[in-house]
Amino acid sequence: MRAVVRDRYGPVDVLRVAAVEQPEPGPGEAVVRVAAASLNTADLDHLLGRPRVARVATGLVRPTNRRVGLDVAGTVERVGPDVTSLRAGDRVWADLFDSGHGALADRVCVPASALSPLPEHISFEHAATAPHSGSLALQGLRAAGPVRPGERVLVNGAGGCVGPFAVQIAKARGAEVTAVDHGDKLAFLRELGADEVIDHRHEDITRSGRRFDVVLDIADTRSVVAVRRCLAPGGRYVLIARRMGSFAEKALLGPVVGALTGTRIGTFAWHPNRRADLAELAGLLASGAVRPRIDRRYSLDDAVEALRRLASGEASGKVLVVP
Ligand SMILES: NC(=O)c1ccc[n+]([C@@H]2O[C@H](COP(=O)([O-])OP(=O)(O)OC[C@H]3O[C@@H](n4cnc5c(N)ncnc54)[C@H](OP(=O)(O)O)[C@@H]3O)[C@@H](O)[C@H]2O)c1
């Protein structure tokens, strides 16, 4: 079978599509035939070995894990001897962040506990868009406290992988959504349902005089003091991005500035691939409240091109790899 592999850290050029051995499920494992996989910014971080401190776990000089790809949807093909929760033929989906990656392949062998059942009425392609970035959007909005109807929500960096989920989920909760990204993405953000779109190249939202009840910050471009300026009294700011310095600033200084100004500024503890989150996402997909946006589909043989497309920053919606 085919899989996307890498032997060293680096940009997309380190990848190739190779013939690898068919996986054999061990105890507690299942082999999934991949129907669709989608790409995330975290795949690019995984390739580059970023942040560098993560290499303590992933291999100091060379990556110990050669495989790539987080979001997967497909069918269980075989299960290990003691697996009772799954059977061959079951439809499943997962974010493989904590389970060895490897979605960019014909098949992937993972712990059976990482796989959630995928309802019949959700297509594999739609399912594959959501586990990683959809869960981040859900957990970020949850950390901001329940978003109430009529609240003003700002999504900063709305045009990437996480933002389109955040915009649509906030709209589904009745919020008035402002989405910030660069000009080429604004039409796409309007299509997603954003009430107002702002080009960060022409306007600094933190100096616009506008105030928001909730700020979900994916782009992470401003300091705690600056983000405080666009929070309404009692407003809540949650940082999604994970740049080390800025994360430390928002995690340590945020609560202090928040306490002094009657707002809440902070980060949140991310839990990848939570079954309850996937069930909530399934409900949002099934109801049409979240409509997955697919930028382009690539075959597995062209998966390296797919990652180039993601790295270019030009994609509007998720980039899919369909073996
Ligand atoms: N919270 C956690 O525990 C956790 C876990 C995993 C991942 N993450 C983080 O989640 C983030 C991934 O989100 P993502 O995949 O949606 O990122 P992304 O695809 O890179 O999207 C970020 C968007 O922000 C835009 N942008 C760039 N500069 C901006 C500015 N000054 N103002 C407004 N928008 C701007 C980008 O446009 P361009 O394409 O033009 O740059 C892009 O559309 C990463 O930072 C990752 O570290 C967090």
Q: Is residue 221 part of a domain?
A: yes
Query: Is 9 in the same domain as 82?
Result: yes
The Å distance, Cα 157 to ligand 1 centre, comes to 6
The Å distance, Cα 218 to ligand 1 centre, comes to 5
Query: Is 246 in the same domain as 302?
Result: no
**Per-residue DSSP letters for 219-241?**
S--S-HHHHHHTEEEEEEEEE--
Q: Is residue 283 part of a domain?
A: no
Query: Is 90 in the same domain as 202?
Result: no
Residue spans of the chain under pLDDT 50: none
The Å distance, Cα 30 to ligand 1 centre, comes to 32
Query: Is 85 in the same domain as 110?
Result: yes
User: If we measure between CA atoms, which residue out of 88, 85, 6, 2 comes closest to residue 48?
Assistant: 6
Q: Is residue 278 part of a domain?
A: no
Query: Is 138 in the same domain as 261?
Result: yes
Query: How many CB atoms are closer than 10 A to CB 173?
Result: 18
Query: Is 85 in the same domain as 17?
Result: yes
Split into its structural domains, the chain has a count of 2
Q: Is residue 279 part of a domain?
A: no
pLDDT tens string 1-35? 999 999 999 999 999 999 999 999 999 999 999 99
Question: What local confidence, expressed as pLDDT, does residue 223 receive?
Answer: 94
Q: Is residue 282 part of a domain?
A: no
In the chain, at which residue ranges do the beta strands (DSSP E only) sit?
A: 2-6, 15-19, 29-38, 71-79, 91-95, 107-111, 116-117, 152-156, 176-181, 196-199, 212-217, 231-239, 264-266, 294-298, 318-321
The Å distance, Cα 267 to ligand 1 centre, comes to 15
Query: Is 223 in the same domain as 298?
Result: no
Question: What local confidence, expressed as pLDDT, does residue 143 receive?
Answer: 97
3-state SS assignment for residue 135:
helix
Question: What local confidence, expressed as pLDDT, does residue 55 receive?
Answer: 94
The residue nearest atom 10 of ligand 1, judged by CA position, is 241
pLDDT tens string 159-193? 999 999 999 999 999 999 999 999 999 999 999 99
Q: Is residue 245 part of a domain?
A: yes
Q: Is residue 277 part of a domain?
A: no
What residues flank ligand 1, with Cβ below 6 Å? 40-42, 133, 136, 156-157, 159-163, 180-182, 185, 200, 218-219, 221, 240-242, 270, 313
**CA 240 to ligand 1: nearest atom:** 1
Question: What local confidence, expressed as pLDDT, does residue 68 receive?
Answer: 97
Query: Is 108 in the same domain as 190?
Result: no
Residue pair 18/3 in contact by the 8 Å Cβ criterion: yes
* CATH code of 7's domain: 3.90.180.10
Structural domain of 111: 2-129+292-321
Query: Is 204 in the same domain as 176?
Result: yes
Query: Is 141 in the same domain as 234?
Result: yes
Query: Is 210 in the same domain as 172?
Result: yes
Query: Is 142 in the same domain as 232?
Result: yes
